[in-house]
Amino acid sequence: MTLILTTPARLVTDENNSRFAEVEVGRACSGCHKAGCQGKTHRIPVESSLNEGLIGVDIKALDLGVLMVNSLGLPLMGLLLGAGLGHFWAVHEGLQLGLAIVGMGIGTVSCRAYAQSLIRIRRREALSCLS
């Protein structure tokens, strides 16, 4: 059984007749009530024949994990590896910081972009958890 994470969204068309899935960014962190967090949206370009209205944006949990490791894990691993090497070599703290920054830079450069095909758009009626 594959776990799929679904976020409610709206399918909108802009003035250039481009279609976007509009997801509320503040939805996941709505409990914190920070200023400016509410009402922001993120647009994902969509090539779909669905009509405008409520839809669901799906991603498999495994794919989300791969994306998180790639975008956050590699830079963090590079930072820790650089700092660890500086500590192991017993160099000055300033040089340890420099090695940590270089390691994070190498980890960031090692990240790669994944295809948008990991995200799937579905009709609202097909979503049982959003009713």
Confidence of residue 131 (pLDDT cuts 50, 70, 90): very low
Residues 6+ apart with CB under 8 A from 82: 99, 100, 101, 102, 103, 104, 106
The ranges assigned to domains in the chain are 4-126
Q: What is the pLDDT of residue 130?
A: 44
| CA–CA separation, 122 and 102 (whole Å) | 42
Count of other CB atoms within 10 angstroms of residue 16:
5
The stretch 95-102 carries a mean pLDDT of 96
Per-chain mean pLDDT for the chain: 81
Average pLDDT, integer, range 62-79: 92
pLDDT bucket at 92, cuts 50 / 70 / 90? very high
Exposed / middle / buried, residue 68 (Cβ in 10 Å: 0-12, 13-18, 19+): exposed
pLDDT tens sequence across 16-65: 888 888 887 655 555 555 555 555 777 888 776 777 777 888 889 999 89
Model-wide pTM > 0.75: no
**Residue 13 pLDDT:** 83
Q: State what percent of residues in the chain have pLDDT above 70.
A: 79
pLDDT band (50, 70, 90) for residue 85:
very high
